[in-house]
A and B are shown apart, each in its own frame.
Chain A
Amino acid sequence: MAARTGSLATALVAGLGLAAAVPGCTAEGSVSLHFDVPDDPALRPGGAASLTLVTQIDADAPRATTTQIGADGQVDLGDLPVADEVWLSAELRSAQGQLVGYGRASAPLAILADADVEATIPVRRPFAYIAGAGNRLVSVDASLGRSAGYQTQVALPGSAEVVADVAGTDLATVSAQGALAYVSTATHGASSLPGAQLGPSPTDAIATPDGAYLLVAHAGTSPQVSVIEVATGQVKVAPTPMAADRVATTRGSDGGWWGVALLGRATVDTGCPGSKLAVFRLTDPETATVIDAGAGISDVGGDARSGLIVLADRCGNRLLRFDPVSQAIDQAAIVDGIKAPTALAVLDGHVWAVGHDRLTTTSPEIPDGVIDAWLVVASADLDGDPSQVMELPPIVERVLAENADYPDQDLVQDLHANWVEADDLAISPSGDLLALTLSTILHGDALGDDGFGGVLIPRVDVTTQEYWLFDPSTTVTNQRIRTSCVADEGPCGAFCLVPDWSCLPDIDASVSGTFAPSGIAVLFGAR
């Protein structure tokens, strides 16, 4: 008995000792983050002077802390919030405030009050990638403006019809024949992720923000959406009754990842035939359901934060919300009054869209009836904040007269666009830059004088394809690459002054020569 009493006393002391030790258990923890940047100086963010760490918990407003970077790359991040799920992203900026690097953790971090936590965040230069140039991607560094080397090429083992950002660390490319391959963003070489053979005729691709799944839309004879488990390369298929033109993904209100494919993309501004939406869980794409969108939809974009898909109603001149879980389209427009939206991108509860508009006339002086065409940019919060719609200046292309090469003067004419249309849109991870590809059609009527011998300057038709990096806050186009420009002249008279015209090289040419962009991706960005 005495022995037992002694044991009990020991036990009670042990119990009190535990209580006293509680502060030890709750002693202040710490967070140590490794911002992983590429070794290659050409890919490593250059000139970073400060690091801004953005933390976000649930739906709270994000918190940003900026700190100067020490000479040895060390940064003091200040206090980080204790929470089960903290989303972290990092921005590297130059002394002038230019974004030179961006990174984001692919999963939330559990920050504990009483434990030391370590995590790695990949950080990359703010690259955009353009597909369609054959066996290479054109990479465009947004941090370099138009300075030397802002365009480079990434060699690929095969052609790339579409490209998608995979959590910032990899790029997925799919050839016209359906070969899926990955490129490491740390090396611009082959990635260790397993490739796969998909169906042919890819039209679009998007990865979930965590990089777990890749979705590829297909047209052609086997319309479908491929859903690839990125880590394993396992492929499942969502069958679609017609070509899947665009695809988007979001984390639904049920917590699962969902995919939505646009079938029958609207290609006209009036009288759009109705589109359809194929809706499926990424874990179970075979059971996709197809619903009528009730309007001609030209693009879809997913927002993982809200669980919504945004639809661009081209003929209705508006943007709508679609909940893939309930499969309901909210008819209350997020943006109402954006003319002919053709491309959109959604990031963190905010949508950007690009449409277009024209000024027409019945004046006989303008036989084709179109004076100008321009892009329209709209933005809005998905929660219904007032939207903004902004018209950009009309598109004007300057063409140069050939065979009229005077020693001290050139002969040029300005062609005003008859048509401009955004084909694709991506938004930078910081949410302040838009990367878009677009097509223009420009037309100049013939100048003639019947008394002087008929046509003096021929009709000139020009078609162009371009890449823009556009800052909507300043309406400045920071980068503009003309990937294609074709001039076609009509017949000219006996006294023709200038029969031949060519595109003026006043816009940056592509380092990959002439090609038609077929897809764009922005590292850590959104579509």
Chain B
Amino acid sequence: MKSASILMILGSALLLGLFIFPLWSISLEAPQYPSGIGMNIHLDGLEGKEKHDLQNIDGLNHYIGMSKLPKSDEMWEFTVFPMVVGGMALVGIIIGVLGFVKNISPKWFLSWLILMLLLGVLGMYDFNAWMVDYGTNLDPKAIMKMTDADGNPLSYKPPLFGTRHILNFVAHSFPHIGAYMMAFGMFLTLIAYWLGIKKLKSATL
């Protein structure tokens, strides 16, 4: 049970990586941008890949009527997400410590993981909803009003995950280091649960 608890502590502590590393990366490629332009999404706000990328993305997007990228204080998510992730990491560590000291049931590990998965899905849903709004809620006075083959206004929504051609740009949207650390951490808590159950079974035999 001790090694399982250590894994639980480690796994939930890996969430804290999100306070250092970005969660997600969106990068854009176009002939005029040979070295690319893009942004990293952190828990608490957006950051350009290069110093002035956010300003330059806004500059490009104003032609098609997209609103400016939100500042940290312009979206509740950038305040709430750090609290949720920090809180979950703390709870996970406490559960792990209790497992270590008090031998609480490994089912606590699983419960934490299920809650974390649930929150993750909610977070992704929210992220996607923002991107839909960002990519389709366009200024009616937009300089360029592009339409698709059916005559509907073109959506500039970046992909949630993967690559998409948008006019002269190719947009890539993928998880960044913080997300990979979180995923690995969650995997460790699953192992912790599995190890804990195994130990429990061998103990009862």
A and B form one complex? no
User: B residues bordering A, Cβ < 8 Å?
Assistant: none
User: A residues bordering B, Cβ < 8 Å?
Assistant: none
